[in-house]
């Protein structure tokens, strides 16, 4: 169909296992920037991001040409490795 336009927005919430307060205030801004890069590198538009010690909220304009499970997996695995490196 000509002139069809679609938009999708997702609010993602991630928390560490057992909702432990693992997000340290001293590097939470770096973590948010790191996750922002992941989202933008997968051609999505970050609209808002905010973290608390025990969880993080991400609001994105979603690119419909990609699968949401792939993005979620990439954010979780990459940010987990990043946090482990920061804590180590």
**CATH architecture label of 8-87:** 2-Layer Sandwich (3.30)
Average pLDDT (5-34) is: 89
State the pLDDT at residue 1. Answer: 58
CA 21 – CA 38 distance, rounded (Å): 23
Write out pLDDT tens, residues 50-73.
Answer: 999 999 999 999 998 899 999 999
- CA 24, CA 41: separation in Å to the nearest integer? 25
Q: Pick the residue with more confidence: 59 or 21? A: 59
Q: What pairs with residue 61 in β-bridges? A: 9, 45
User: CB neighbours of 64 closer than 8 A, spacing ≥ 6?
Assistant: 6, 8
Show me where the domains of the chain are located.
Answer: 8-87
Over residues 3-14, the mean pLDDT reads 89
């Amino acid at each position: 169909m000509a002139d069809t336009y679609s938009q999708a927005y997702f609010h993602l919430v991630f928390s560490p296992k057992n909702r432990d307060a693992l997000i340290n205030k001293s590097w939470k801004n770096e973590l948010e920037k790191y996750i922002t890069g992941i989202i933008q590198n997968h051609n999505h538009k970050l609209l808002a991001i905010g973290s608390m010690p025990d969880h993080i909220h991400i609001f994105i304009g979603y690119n419909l040409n990609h699968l949401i499970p792939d993005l979620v997996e990439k954010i979780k695995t990459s940010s987990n490795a990043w946090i482990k490196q920061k804590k180590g």
